[in-house]
Chains A and B, each alone.
Chain A
């Protein structure tokens, strides 16, 4: 049985390398049962999206024009 602590490592590594099926199967089963780790997984996806956007210099408010005087 995977612990949530171990799952955070797998979900982080999934951002950097393909997981093996030996890792993926217990991970998938754990995620079916664990809302906390599911949120963690989505947070990892969010971090990747945020860093990509930031590194392209597009980290702006969509409406970043200064307000009129």
Chain B
């Protein structure tokens, strides 16, 4: 007898668009691992944080209206796991202390400016166009991640604590035992590097098909 299964899917089978859709969960996990890896810079530690966050989030998945809501919630949990891991590392002193090498780095950026401290013509920042258009393009996010990955570890740690983990600068100073002015210098360094990277790798090329 010929089965009619293809015309009558079983009610409990996962369908695209639901929270249990395997393709959605696999993609979500990959996004989480990349996010954790960017900040922890340690594949095993990133994997652990993601497993814990996913388990915690999915045990209460019935509360979510859709995939986007679940994803936001899972990422919020993941951020807490990352903070826990960073704090543990700080206590165990397994991360290299931040060293004050401000002078060298400032000299790197000095080449962007003329002797009067103004932008050199070829290094003057360009207009980046409509942010919404850019942020809606998947390829942009690949470039964005690549630029974040290129940040030196100590700069990345401070920048991501500020921007991803919602620490304020006094909070970062306290966690990492650095001064406020050093914190501001590091955040400036991160933003200067990121904007240069994005300008070179995304905004100076013409077509970006989605």
Contacts and interface: CB of A to CB of B under 8 A. Distances in A.
Contacts of B31: 57, 59
B163 A39 contact: no
Interface in B151-210: 162-165, 168-169, 183-184, 187-188, 191-192, 194-195, 198-199, 210
Given A6-B117, A61-B137, A12 B191 contact: yes
Interface string A30-56: 000011110110111111111111111
Given A4-B118, A16-B169, A57-B31, A44 B191 contact: yes
A4 B113 contact: yes
Interface residues of B, number: 49
A40 B117 contact: no
Contacts of B128: 39, 42-43, 46
Given A46-B128, A47-B195, A36 B72 contact: no
B68 A58 contact: yes
A62 B31 CA distance: 16
Contacts of A61: 136-138, 210
B163 A8 contact: no
A42 B191 CA distance: 12
Nearest to B75: A57
Interface residues of A, number: 40
Contact of A9 (B162, B188, B194): B188
Contacts of A16: 162, 168-169, 183-184, 187
A42 to B, nearest CB: 7
A12 B164 contact: no
Contacts of A34: 118
Given A47-B191, A50-B144, A3 B116 contact: yes
Contact of A8 (B72, B136, B192): B192
Contacts of A17: 169
A4 B194 contact: no
Contacts of A39: 124-128
B163 A49 contact: no
B125 A43 contact: yes
Contact of A48 (B32, B112, B144, B163): B163
